[in-house]
Amino acid sequence: MSWMSGFSIAELGHYALVLALALSLIQSTVPLWGASARDNRLMRVGTVSTLIGFLYVTFAFGALTVAYINSDFSVANVWENSHSAKPLLFKISGVWGNHEGSMMLWVLILSLFGALVAAFGGNLPVTLKARVLAVQGWVATAFLLFILTTSNPFLRLTPAPGEGRDLNPILQDVGLAIHPPLLYLGYVGFSIVFSFAAAALIEGRVDAAWARWVRPWTLMAWIFLTLGIAMGSYWAYYELGWGGWWFWDPVENASFMPWLAGTALLHSAIVMEKRGALKIWTILLAILTFSLSLLGTFLVRSGVLTSVHAFATDPTRGVFILAILVLFIGGSLALFAWRAPELKQGGLFAPISREGALLYNNLFLVAATATVFAGTLYPLVLEALTKDKISVGAPFYNITFAPLMVPLLLAVPFGPMLAWKRGDLAAAAQRLLFAMVLAVVALVATLIIEGVQHPLAPLGIGLGIWLIAGAANEIIDRSGIGRMPLKTSWARFTGMPRTAFATALAHAGLGVTVIGIVATTTYQTETIVSVKPGESLETGGYTLTYQDSVPHTENNYREELYRFVVSRDGEALLAIAPAKRFYSTRQMSTTEAAIKTFWFSQLYVSIGDQHDDGSLTVRAYYKPLVTFIWLGAVLMAIGGTVSLSDRRFRIGVAKPARAKRLQEAKA
Amino acid sequence: MLLWLAITIFTVIAVLAVVLPLLREGKPVDSRENHDAAVYRRQLDELERDREAGRIGPEEAEAARAEIGRRLIAADRREAARVAAAGGGFRRAATAAVALVGIPLIGLGLYLAQGSPGLPDEPLQARLGNAPDGKNISLLVGQVEDHLARNPDDTRGWEVLAPVYSRLGRPGDAARAYRNVIRLGGSTPARQTALGEALVMASGGIVTDEAREAFEASAESGAELDSDTAKARFYLALAMEQEGDSKGATTALHALLDDAPADAAWRPAIEETVARIERAEKDTAAALFAKPKKPALGPLRENAPSAQADAGPPPAATPTRGPSQEEMNAAGAMAPEDRMAMIEGMVDNLADRLEKKPDDADGWLQLVRSYAVLGRREDAAEAARTALASISDKEKRREIAQLAQDLRLPGMEEMTQ
């Protein structure tokens, strides 16, 4: 087909990306003008240009993906980061496994959220919607410019090299396929919350209605961020072969800080929505949350960090992102300083009240964010000033972050029990008696079973049970189960707003995670020994017998499988085979841990060096209840989803039918 | 043509996205206050439910009701008829004009600055051309490997596989395959030269003893001088140069030229190498620390394989190192992608070697330069940092720091020591 000769989807993708920039410039100005002039047509330009801009970004992203799938090494980015021997899934995940591609993903998600507001924001006041889209347009403009000037993934090579340079084998994993998109959906998702805050400040109107409109967006971003962090943690756990699930690595912190601030925002927005209080604070949190996302992007993408995650380094990029950071954080805080004093304060409340409890939550979460912030940035500042390189790790966070969590977690079950405006702590405590008893029982049971070697651990387990039982207690108490006739309590149970279940699920999830963390950290057993074929080692009550090692060849790597038989009480249970892989193109090797799950606990076996005499260094762990850490996070995310599905948050819907049903049931 | 047609359509859609909404009025603006009032009414309903459920005390509920009521009244009061400001015609015309001119201008301006509209896509399938029923080359390699695992004495299989390994940048595997070919099918000059070349690639450009044996087997086979035996003699000369015997190297190369037919395609390459060695001979020290004429700092495109040769490193890094880039190019009139793979392989091997034997300043200098030329600037910076940490000689450290600074490697601009 000669008329198709010279056609290039990559080039068209490049052009689509440039057009997206042109449209984002329109999106960031015209609706703003329209809102101030109350010109309906101009405001509509914002909606349409946002949607078409999103289509173009999507097209560009798709074009890049096609180049990866086809191993089109005439695209420099594909040549640098892909290889024709990679399985299809990793060719696709390779798109965002590198600097340029991950920035494309960033912008794709940014414009996706803009497009969601453009498409489904019909319930918003038109001027607010126009301004939100404009602010989102500013962010999109900045990042599209960043991509096109410093990180263009569409630059071409001619003639095309014969073979690609592969992807870092550590990153060649299903975890990488899922983890960054989730994480980005989370922390880029907070951009829309930021846009809402900036738009409200420009508009000069911040009120309960605003909080209600922002709520679903905050929730959505928070759910994805929760899952993204959990996923990333699990990925590091099984792929890096160290058996750790959280390293306080700056890149992890970069996503954890927006999560902490976002969690605070989620709670303060409730107060604002229900009682019109904490307005200024909520707006500030919205700004801070996205600012922390931007900071995270800067830390990861500028290369100021050097860790397993930091696979991008280039000073010009760093400076560009720093400029974006300063512009948006500085600009929004200036706008805040200018407009915030004009905002009227809302409803009053006593210290002991639902509002007070939520504020208490906010204070601790923000303080926790601050400790993580300090721990992350201090080494960088120190290095910049004195060239000393230090690393801040678990010991720092154990004495700063952990003590902040304890009073927060202790208070969590009280929050939903307190009445609005003025609550009764003693009454709440009385209603929580069931949870308290369970927590103490758990504490004592742990002490009896595990002994007093780790005096803090039973307290931690008790705390986790307190959270789970407290959440259940709230549901039981509200539905009146056990106090009222079954029929009435069933009606009350089904009549409860979904947000009540959401709260309970999320809080219980937190408890599950706490138990997982405490159990794994204190009760895990670790065995590091050298074994020869036929020899055994023991960990956590399981016996592992080293059989032999067999080589195995895959498309793009060779591996040596080390076979073990796992037995317990003399009975062989199963065979496992941790491995060492060698990727020929990059001349790199990775360790593949073997992980077996027994109920909620895991056996984790990782291979060290093989010695000349045929012996093998093996690291084997037994990690009790380790999966609770991630299951808890999944539970939190499910809670968020339940809350998101609460129809009351869809503005313009008639009085909830469920409330009517409830009244009928009473009558 | 098709690309430009698509670009035109995309541009028109983008302009229409701005202009069309300007043409239609659409439904009237619903007032902000109506929205607010709806929200406050809902708050009142919810308050009532909270009060019934005992989640707020009766007195507090009364106070909250008053608060919400005040906001509701305020919202109603603000409900003044606000209409669009005058001047809608001007605004629309201005917006449309900006879109009509600005979108194509920005679009084409930015695109033409960086894009390559003339370049077609080059999916691997299309470039390999003959890959049957959509299988990629690595899959085919895998099949041949499987076959050979079961029939390790199939000479033909190893013979097919060996050059493919070389092209895929797997010189170690290629050398293994050539050894099998020689073992099973007997030694020929072509096979020995190919084995030697693979070994040189595998060791990062160094003509190792093993490689030398292969080249000697080829050169001394008594066969007529052809491109294979000539290549073997060329590498043997390079081996001499690497051992510091520049004289011997040039003598050998001159002898090769004397034997070569006048119209041999590889003559100019050898002449160039002779000239280079003689130049380097004169000023070894200067050549050692010469800065690249054109450090590869530009956008990625400049690092394209085709540009490699032009923007190449200074002639002859050190006399004790592997062949310079010109020689690598000369070593065989290779296809650009082969060359690329070969260079990549060499550099990676050099890096491996330095990892095991880090106190080799000249090796590090070459590695940093090679990375910079290949556009792997992070790797270059990392190598420079490692080198600074592992080299004991102060003077050499200074040289490495200087090189890193000259190349403006990320994070190394302010290196002083």
Do A239 and A359 sit in the same domain of this protein? yes
Q: Tell me what the pLDDT averaged over chain B comes to.
A: 74
Rounded Cα–Cα distance for residues A516 and A601 (Å): 9
- What's the pLDDT at B76? 64
Q: How far is B378 from chain A (nearest CA, A)?
A: 6
Contact B411/A313, CB-based, under 8 Å?
A: yes
**What pLDDT was estimated at residue B309?**
34
**B54 contacts in chain A (CB < 8 Å):** 419
Asked if residue A559 and residue A605 are part of one domain, the reply reads yes
Q: Identify the pLDDT of residue A612.
A: 81
Which of B2, B18, B29 comes nearest A126 by C-beta? Answer: B29
Task: Report pLDDT digits (tens) over A439-482.
Answer: 999 999 998 888 888 888 999 999 999 999 999 998 988 888 87
What are the pLDDT digits (tens) for A279-288? 889 999 999 9
Residue A411 belongs to some domain of the structure: no
Domain B136-282 CATH class label: mainly alpha
Which pLDDT score, from 0 to 100, does residue B296 have?
A: 34
pLDDT > 90? residue B261: no
Beta strands in A42-197 (DSSP E): none
When pLDDT is averaged across residues A323-337 and rounded to a whole number, the result is 93
Do A19 and B11 count as a contact with CB atoms less than 8 A apart? yes
In a domain, A425, yes or no: no
Distance CA A171, CA A163 (A): 19
> Shortest Cα distance from B42 to chain A (angstroms)?
8
Tell which wins on pLDDT, A555 or A114: A114
Sort out which chain A residues have CB atoms less than 8 A from B168's CB and list them: 162-163, 585
List the single residue in A41, A158, A162 with the smallest CB-CB distance to B304. A158
Residue A567 pLDDT grade (very low, low, confident, very high; cuts 50, 70, 90): very high
pLDDT tens for each residue of B97-127: 999 999 999 999 999 999 988 888 888 777 6
Distance from C-alpha of B185 to C-alpha of B156, rounded to nearest angstrom: 9
How many structural domains are present in chain A?
4
Q: What is the pLDDT of residue A505?
A: 96
Yes or no: say if A510 and A632 are a contact pair by the CB < 8 Å rule. Answer: yes
Q: Do A145 and A18 sit in the same domain of this protein?
A: yes
Share of chain A above pLDDT 90, in %: 50
**In this structure, are residues A545 and A567 in contact, taking their beta carbons and an 8 Å threshold?**
yes
Q: Please state, for a pLDDT cut of 70, what percent of chain A lies above it.
A: 92
Using a CB-CB cut-off of 8 Å, the residues of chain B touching A157 are 300-301, 304-305
Q: Do A19 and B10 touch (CB under 8 A)?
A: yes
Domain boundaries, chain B: 136-282, 305-406
**pLDDT at A57 (0 to 100):** 98
Query: Stretch B243-262: mean pLDDT, rounded?
Result: 85
Interface touch A74/B121, C-beta < 8 Å: yes
Q: Determine, for residues A209 and B305 on separate chains, whether the beta-carbon distance falls below 8 Å.
A: no
Q: What is the DSSP string of A533-556?
A: TT-EEEETTEEEEEEEEEEEE-SS
> Does residue A488 share a domain with residue A452?
yes
Q: CA-nearest residue of chain A to B106? A: A22
Please indicate whether, in this complex, the C-beta atoms of A19 and B136 are within 8 angstroms of each other: no
Domain membership of residue A413 (yes or no) is no
User: Mutate which of A17, A80, A98, A157 to test chain B, going by most B C-beta atoms within 10 A?
Assistant: A157
The more confidently predicted of residues B168 and A535 is: A535
A-chain residue closest to B83, CA distance? A38
User: Confidence class of residue B315 from pLDDT cuts 50, 70 and 90?
Assistant: very low
**Is the same domain home to A202 and A135?**
no
A263/A315 same-domain check: yes
The answer to whether the Cα torsion of B199, B200, B203, B206 is positive or negative is: positive
Q: Taking residues A71-97, report their average pLDDT.
A: 87
Would an 8 Å CB–CB cutoff place A122 in contact with chain B?
no
| Cβ neighbours of A553 in B, within 8 Å | 142, 145
**DSSP alpha helices (H): ranges in A121-171?**
126-150
User: A170 versus A204: which is more confidently predicted?
Assistant: A204
pLDDT at B78: 57
Go through chain A and tell me how many residues it has.
Answer: 667
For B267-294, write each residue's pLDDT tens digit.
Answer: 888 888 888 888 776 655 443 444 443 3
Mean pLDDT throughout A274-279? Answer: 84
Confidence of residue A610 (pLDDT cuts 50, 70, 90): confident
Are A585 and A638 found together in one domain?
no
Residues A609 and A649 both lie in one domain: no
CB contacts, 8 Å: A162 with chain B: 127, 167-168, 335, 337-338, 340-341
User: Does A89 score more than 80 pLDDT?
Assistant: yes
- Shared domain for A164 and A183, answered yes or no, is no
Angle at B171 between CA B169 and CA B175, to 5 degrees: 150
Same domain, A309 and A231: yes
Last residue of a domain, one of A141, A168, A195: A168
A residues 530-559 lying closer than 8 A (beta carbon) to B: 553, 555-556
- Searching chain A, which residue's CA lies closest to the CA of residue B31? A125
Q: Does A11 contact chain B (CB < 8 Å)?
A: yes
d(CA B173, nearest CA chain A) in Å: 10
B107–A22: do the CB atoms touch at under 8 Å? yes
- Are residues A344 and A215 part of one domain? yes
What pLDDT shows up at residue A470? 94
Q: What is the mean pLDDT of residues B223-228?
A: 80
Are the beta carbons of B167 and B341 closer than 8 angstroms? Answer: yes
- By the 8 A CB rule, do A223 and A640 touch? yes
Least confident of A336-340, A512-516, A587-591, B412-416: B412-416
Instruction: Please give the Cα distance from B249 to B228 (Å, whole number).
Output: 18
Same domain, A139 and A246: no
pLDDT band of residue A15 (cuts 50, 70, 90) is very high
Across residues A365-379, what is the average pLDDT? 93
Q: Quick check: B2 and A6 CB within 8 A?
A: yes
Whole-number percent of chain B with pLDDT over 70: 73
DSSP A156: B
Interchain CB contact of A78 with B (< 8 Å):
no
Residues B232-245: what's their mean pLDDT? 85
pLDDT at residue B336 greater than cutoff 60: no
Last residue of a domain, one of A138, A168, A198: A168
Structural domain containing residue A462: 432-523+629-666
Tens-place pLDDT, residues A42-58: 999 999 999 999 999 99
Average pLDDT of the residues of chain A: 87
Cα–Cα dist B282/A192, whole Å: 66
How does pLDDT run across A407-439, given as a tens digit for each residue? Answer: 999 999 999 888 888 888 888 998 899 999 999
- Say yes or no: A62 contacts chain B, CB-CB below 8 A: no
Residue from A146, A156, A353 whose CB has the most chain B CBs within 10 Å, to mutate: A156
